[in-house]
Amino acid sequence: MVRTAIERASERTGFAVVHYSVQRDHLHLIVEAADNGRLSRGLQSLGARVAKNLNQMFRRRGRVFSDRYHLRILSTPRATKAAILYVLNNAKKHARQVGTKLSPSWVDPFSSARIFDGWRNFPERATDYGVERPRLPAASTWLLRVGWRKHGLLDIERVPSG
């Protein structure tokens, strides 16, 4: 349901989620937006879709997200590479924080990690856990398409810090 909301929000002109990770109580997104207005409206639309669907599913009403979003503009290849790793492997970080052991080659099925083509060691037989592969638009900015690769491909086994 969240994946579908992300995909639909990314159909807006001038707004696209190009990487994401769905956690228990928050989302991590890497978004391209044509301007601040489209970013704001795109995230507002996404938040409303997710909140409406979750409220229907749990037969409840009210706010789903405690705040809007935390914005960080990516402006260098190194920062972009770190952000992509952080988003795609974020579930590994949270698992480590609560003492859960995951296989080093585990791939988060609730992220866009399975469709990301920048892994240097993606497992041949990554389990999909029955979760449909996301359908996201390709990145259009230089930093997200190729710029980050200046610092090498990502390691699927690396747990992000922070």
* 107-144: pLDDT as tens digits: 999 999 999 999 999 998 777 788 888 999 999 999 99
Burial of 35 (0-12, 13-18, 19+ CB in 10 A): exposed
In a domain, 72, yes or no: yes
- Single pTM value for the model: 0.90
In a domain, 158, yes or no: no
What's the confidence (pLDDT) of residue 68? 65
In a domain, 64, yes or no: yes
Cα–Cα distance for residue pair 53/108, rounded to 1 Å? 22
The pLDDT tens digits for 36-56 are 999 999 998 898 888 888 888
Cα–Cα distance for residue pair 51/38, rounded to 1 Å? 20
Average pLDDT across the chain, whole number: 91
In a domain, 56, yes or no: yes
Q: Is residue 9 a contact partner of residue 17, using CB atoms and an 8 Å limit?
A: yes
User: What average pLDDT does the segment 77-95 reach?
Assistant: 96
Counting every residue, how long is the chain? 162
How many structural domains is the chain composed of?
Answer: 1
What's the confidence (pLDDT) of residue 123? 92
What's the confidence (pLDDT) of residue 98? 94
Q: Is residue 81 a contact partner of residue 120, using CB atoms and an 8 Å limit?
A: no
Cα–Cα distance for residue pair 86/100, rounded to 1 Å? 18
Assign 145 a pLDDT band (cuts: 50, 70, 90): very high
Q: Which domain holds residue 141?
A: 2-151
What's the confidence (pLDDT) of residue 130? 81
What's the confidence (pLDDT) of residue 36? 94
